[in-house]
Structure 1
Amino acid sequence: MGKYLLKSLLIFMLLFFGNNTLLSQEKKLKKAKEQYDKYQYIDAQETYLKVARKGYKSADLFMNLGDSYYFNSQFEEALKWYEELVNSYPDQIQPEYYFRYAQTLKTVERYQDSDIYMKKFAAANGNDLRAKLFLDGSDYLKRIDFQSGRFEIENASVNSSFVEFGTAFYGKNIVFSSSRDTLTFKKTIHQWNGEAFLNLFEAKYDSVNNNFSKIKRFDRKINSKFHESTPVFTKDTRTIYFTRNNFEEGKLGRDQKGTNKLKIYRSYKNPEGGWTTPQNLPFNSDEYSVAHPTLSSDEKTLYFSSDMPGGKGSSDLYEVAINSDGSFGEPKNLGDRINTEGKETFPFIGADGELYFSSDGHMGLGGLDVYVTKINPQTDKEKLVVNVGRPINGPKDDFAFIIDENTKKGYFSSNREGGKGSDDIYSFVELEDLKDFCETTIAGLVTDKDTNELLPGTKVSLYDSNNNLIQSFVVGDEATYSQLVECESSYFVRAEKEEYNTLEKLVNTSDKSQTIDTPLALEKKIKTADVGDDLTKILALKPIYFDFNGYTIRSDAKIELAKVIEVMNQYANMKLEIRAHTDSHGEDQYNLYLSEKRAEATVNYMIDNGISADRLTGKGYGETQLVNDCGNESNCEKDKHQLNRRSEFIIVK
């Protein structure tokens, strides 16, 4: 009896403590979710990790844990948890997580695997612009390689072991954001990433050593105890726009959920030195972020990034007019030529009207990549959004690109491997302008040569000039194929289908972008023939040529006639009528006579080569049965007249 009592007690204790453990995990998950919703990713990570390490699993746990790293640009850690999600809960994956997983795969250069999940994303979310960009630009790596190698980069001397990014030209000096903490006794730590808050720092240009030195904090009116970043100055250096946390008059503003957002502030330089108290711009809000300002070349337009309502993605690029009195117009979204459902941010306007920006929605190498396009395009070419290529871009985040287009020198920021801190500033020299991309496509329709019927199911293969297979595919119901190839190259296009002769065509591409129409008309190996059919078409005979004004069988005609004779030898009951035709040149009566002599010569040749005379008849039609409108009064070209100079071998039995 005591044995059963002890067993019951043990079961009760296991259930009790098991339920308490489950309740504890659920409480931790709730706490983590609250932290996550407030963007306190570091705290959320710790809570999620503790739960995961105890063996607790769910799709939500893996999604949120992955996100807590993804939104801090810790992509390799994010990849680990997204992979758990994909492998453990394939039926519970939201389309956006196919995209995020694909992005993190890129950051470890698993581009083929990334493409697999981008295809899944596109299949589940086909109307998403990121999906369309992927489907339309599946050769994105080739395009990026084409633009690569145009920059020479190096890690900037201003970097420390902390975060540095977001450089601005300030006369000959530069101003940038850094989390280096100069406070001796107190460090202000940001809960999003565990780093000190960002301040602006100025580096003075040393003309003797052609370098930057004497790095110091920027003006104390500009810097606060929270974030300041991504400044831009007017050309006279007397006005600054910059990004700061929603912090004014010693108070930290929050949205309805309690989250502090970013705002753009403006300040003016005092004549006696220092800067005026920064004022936040009228289109800022407590409910959304406005950040990363830049100015047009004429300084009449401000560009920025925001997640304000009405945008397309997690952040979009906007423009707003700066009026002559310093007031502002209404912000205008730059539209879906530039903005995607992903993140578009860190705009910069070059002197020639180029818009540089960073995005994870356009096709790139991983994380944020830098792109360029014309802000006011005049041609279709100028509308293109182009990845600037390696070495500016890589598998991690690359952003905050600026360039002096007179000197071709500039800066960008990146969290790539090999830097001094988690984000570093890199200086660069642009060695070569953006290259015009040459894009050639070989495309065509696959048909039956005799009937012109479509031939779905045909295997089409593309080989390079060394006969190496590039691509092979089977055409669908529409019997069309299309393949992007390199310019100034040679290719063989081969079509194969059961019951048809294999066809191969040589295609040479030029140095211009184009689509080369290459139809593939296949011949059946075994063809059917009936009374009234023309063996000329069935056997695809070349024209039976005669010398001018002559009717002697030429050597090239003998080859074609040998094919007809061979068919008649195979089918002993077949009878033919040989019909000879001329074009409209010359007198009608003479053409009739000439065609009759040619028909007679053809019959006699075939009889001499073993075909019984009672199986053949011949008739000349002169110019009475033209296949086109090239009659006596016409001005047809030679090739059109040539169509009328023909022989027919009509089956009469």
Structure 2
Amino acid sequence: MNKLYWLTTLVIFQSFLLNAQSWKISDPYILGSEVNSQAEESTPLFSQDSSILYFTRTYDTRNTGGEWDQDIWYSTRTENGESYNEAQNLKSLNNKFHNAVVGLSSDGNRIYLLDAYGGKKDQEKGLAVAERNNNGSWSSPKRVDIPELKIGGNFYGFYVSPDEKVIIISYKGEAPVGEEDLYYSEFVNGLWTKPEHMGNVINSTGYEIAPFLTSSKDTLFFSSNGFGGFGDADIFYSIKTGSGWKSWSKPVNIGPPVNSSKFDAYINIANDVIYFSSNRDTLRSDIFKTKAIYYCFIGTIRDKESLEPLEGAHLVIKNIEEDNNIVEELYSDSQGKLNGKRLPFGYKDMIDLKIVIEREGYISKSVNLQMKLGDTTEIDLSNLLDVNLTKIEEGKTDLADVIDINPIYFDLNSSVIRPDAAKELDKIVEMMNDNPKIVIELRSHTDSRGSEKYNLWLSDRRAKSSAEYIVSQGISVDRITGKGFGQQVLEHSDEEIAKVKTEAEKERLHQMNRRTEFIIVRMNK
């Protein structure tokens, strides 16, 4: 892309309130033929209400000055807000010189332009402003007086803040660090100050062009070829570190998918939607669109039985891949709702999280969330996981009803813990670690086949063996006991089983009688 057309944007019209250091970006896509053409499109800029997209078009025979001219064009958004109507030439502000919009006032009544309108046209380069007339048209542009602004070359651009308090200028001024550097001018006591160099941190031995400042004025975006990167020119950002305009953090390349191996510049952000210009796919630049994506957790915590929302549930979310570092802590509100903050995850990231949920009077639980992030920015935990909590009723609540645990199997006439049984008992260990106050009685039951004395003896051996295993995994011995009940407490009586027609159904009922329960008998203080 020829540097002649590095004419800087812009004004931001909607708050981009997030720190640029944590934003992630979806895959960009090129705007349709209503905006982009066989010519070159750049410097996207939106009206205050985002209903009109202004941009510059070069190499179009329909331009006021012909194919080699640069004109201002605009396109109105369609009602759905996702597409655009056929672009039109803004003839009242175009002439045979290079024209571009470089800012709009926050009230939309003033439009800032490259000055190509005075007596010397574009020979004396600078900034101009036009006022909106009562009928919506624009007045004749007038030059903005910036003292001691002397632009000798063809490569320059402006950014005007929406409050009209600061102008960022890209040009080769006095004693530059490199080619085009960034300067600033402030509006003080009704006048613009002379341009001041913005310092060596954000200016390189290459060029810095296309500045864009967030509405909070603490994050500056620009394009440069002097800080390394992916191609011809990349988009960078820098964070303001002081009260003035000369203190900035080291520029950070925003990286793919915005930056490519070609020319990428003219970033503009409106309502977390990002527009920029790039020639990645063609010889001439087009306008691309992408979205700044910020993920957050939402959901509702409920009582598992009544499904009533629970206020005051506490969630601790840990990143398993980062040594269980805490990502976020959440509390449910009076409606049981979760409203999380923006998360430090990127577009299409794979996440592996452990979520611990607890509330007084309820069994705490741990659930794991593994997923690949996409375009859905609100991660609804209550849709993805079982986050409802079970109320503790001493002597009644069974942990086997709370967690997904398979039957505890033993070899014939054996009480030795098998590997498959250990895997299931480990789930109880984890649950008891998450609930350090609960005291469990492990109850083992058999079916009615075999002698009652033998079944009672075997079930007691198995119950105590299972409890001993849990203690061996670090649970205090005074928090769990094992007791066998044999065939004393059947889920299905012999009479009930006898009435069943098929042997398979009879065996299913016998199996339901052969069960292990993990009953909460009390809560420690």
TM class by shorter-chain length? 0.3 to 0.5
Instruction: Name the structure with the higher strand share.
Output: 2
Point out which structure has higher relative CO (alpha carbons under 8 A, 6+ apart).
2
Larger of the two Rg values belongs to structure: 1
Instruction: Name the structure with the higher helix share.
Output: 1
